[in-house]
Structures are given as C-alpha cells and as structure tokens.
C-alpha cells in the first residue's frame, strides 16, 4: 500500500533554502527563464515552490534540468513573480521541492509520442522534448503540436529552430499569418488534421489550461487512444496562449 508522510521527505522539500541564479534568459518581455544552481534531484514534470523573504511564494514547473541546475520559466503576473523579475544573475532565490511524480520517461521510451501544449504550458514539457530530440534512439515517432497566441508569445525560438527536420514539430498561432514556420489555428485544429499511427502503443502528453486539455483529450479518445495512454499536466498560469 502506498503512503505519504512528511517524515519521508528530504529536508529540501520541506523548508525553503537559498539558491543562486546562474543565468536569466528573456524569451519575451513577460516570460523569463531562470537557471538556478541546486543540490537536489529534479525531473521533467515536477515543480518547485519559489519564494522571496517577506514577499511570498509561487509554484513553478521545472522546464529542464542538468548536473547541478534547474530551469524555471517564470511569467511576470503578480507580486511574487514581479519581485523575481527585479533579480539578476548571482542573486539568490528560495526554493523548496521538487514536488510531483514527473513524467513517466521509462513508459514513454521506444514508443510513438505525441506532445500537445499551449503557451507557457510548453515549459513543463520542454526538457522532455529536448531529451528525446537529442536522443532519437530512445523514442519512436515524435510529434509535437505547440500553440501560442501570436509570434511575440513563442517560447524557446532558437531551440525550436534546431528541432525542425528531426521530428514533426507544428507551431500554431491564434493570431497572425501563416508561413513556413507557423500555422494558424488552435492546437486541436492541427490535431484534427493529423493521422496518428501505431495507436495501440502511442503515448500522449497534454499540457495547458483545463479547457484546452478537455478538448484535446476528447479528440485523442475519438482518434482511438485509451485513457491510460494519455498523460495530462495542468498549467494554470496561462496568459500567452
């Protein structure tokens, strides 16, 4: 029988501790990536509580991780995040975590994978996509449908440019004009156009606000996927999507 007890948790997941900001990347005026030096394990799909003394705390998804660091995509939407945007490289932030089970990487390996994400919902699954793009021997066919409000809201542009041609990457916009990089419409419009192969073994990850997840999951079920093949991750801090 599974159990949950705070006494089983390592100390870093219970109390905030100071960690140094290694770098800050400004993807858009409102969305910045903070790379933070850490001494605790992290996995794609988990999140940390980010805080500043006498300011407050906010849950932020781990967008990627490496040896001794994690990436946190933060959107400037309130008191805590506004305070974080005043920091610079070398400053400290306070973290506790990581929390959540993370994505089931072993279950996904060597199977067709479809990722559907919108706006800042791309961040929680970005590191997982990068891993499979860089390690194609670990995955079957990889399809990615990523939606944004407009071109100004697109995240990870430089990395996405290097992914083209390696796997099927579809970037779709709610507003603007289509070209060789972007299509126009919702992620569900692009999913409706897609023919899914190997339905029996395919895995799907859907990340975004509840309404997007509802319609995307409904369409995946209509296309033949079973509920146990679909992994959902609610990203409630959505505005550029």
Annotated binding site for [2Fe-2S] cluster: 240
For 83, residues 6+ apart whose C-beta sits below 8 A from its C-beta are 52, 55, 56
Q: Evaluate whether 82 touches 70 at the Cβ level (below 8 Å).
A: no
Helix (H) or strand (E) holding 74: strand 69-75
207 vs 16: CA distance, rounded Å: 27
- How would you classify the pairing of strands 56-66 and 47-52? antiparallel
Annotated binding site: 73-75, 240
Annotated binding site for FAD: 73-75
Beta bridge partners of 71: 35, 64
- How would you classify the pairing of strands 203-208 and 17-26? unpaired
Q: Evaluate whether 81 touches 34 at the Cβ level (below 8 Å).
A: no
Helix (H) or strand (E) holding 210: helix 210-222
For 64, residues 6+ apart whose C-beta sits below 8 A from its C-beta are 44, 70, 71, 126, 127, 130
3-state SS, residue 104: coil
Beta bridge partners of 234: 208
């Amino acid at each position: 029988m599974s159990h949950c007890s705070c006494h089983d948790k390592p100390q870093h997941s219970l109390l905030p501790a100071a960690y140094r900001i290694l770098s800050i990347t400004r993807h858009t005026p409102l969305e910045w990536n903070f790379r933070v030096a850490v001494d605790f394990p992290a996995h794609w799909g988990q999140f940390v509580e980010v805080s500043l003394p006498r300011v407050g705390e906010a849950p932020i998804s781990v967008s990627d991780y490496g040896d001794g660091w994690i990436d946190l995509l933060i959107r400037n939407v309130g008191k805590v995040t506004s305070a974080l945007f005043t920091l610079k490289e070398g400053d400290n932030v306070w973290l506790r975590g990581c929390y959540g089970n993370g994505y089931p990487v072993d279950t996904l390996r060597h199977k067709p994978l479809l990722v559907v994400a919108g706006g800042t919902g791309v961040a929680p699954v970005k590191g997982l996509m990068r891993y499979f793009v860089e390690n194609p021997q670990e995955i079957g066919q990889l399809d990615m449908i990523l939606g944004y409000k407009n071109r100004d809201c697109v995240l990870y542009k430089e990395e996405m440019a290097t992914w083209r041609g390696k796997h099927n990457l579809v970037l779709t916009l709610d507003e603007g004009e289509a070209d060789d990089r972007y299509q126009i419409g919702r992620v569900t419009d692009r999913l409706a156009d897609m023919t899914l192969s190997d339905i029996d073994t395919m895995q799907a990850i859907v990340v975004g606000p509840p309404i997007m997840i509802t319609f995307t999951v409904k369409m995946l079920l209509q296309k033949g996927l079973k509920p146990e093949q679909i992994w959902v991750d609610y990203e409630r801090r959505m505005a550029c999507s």
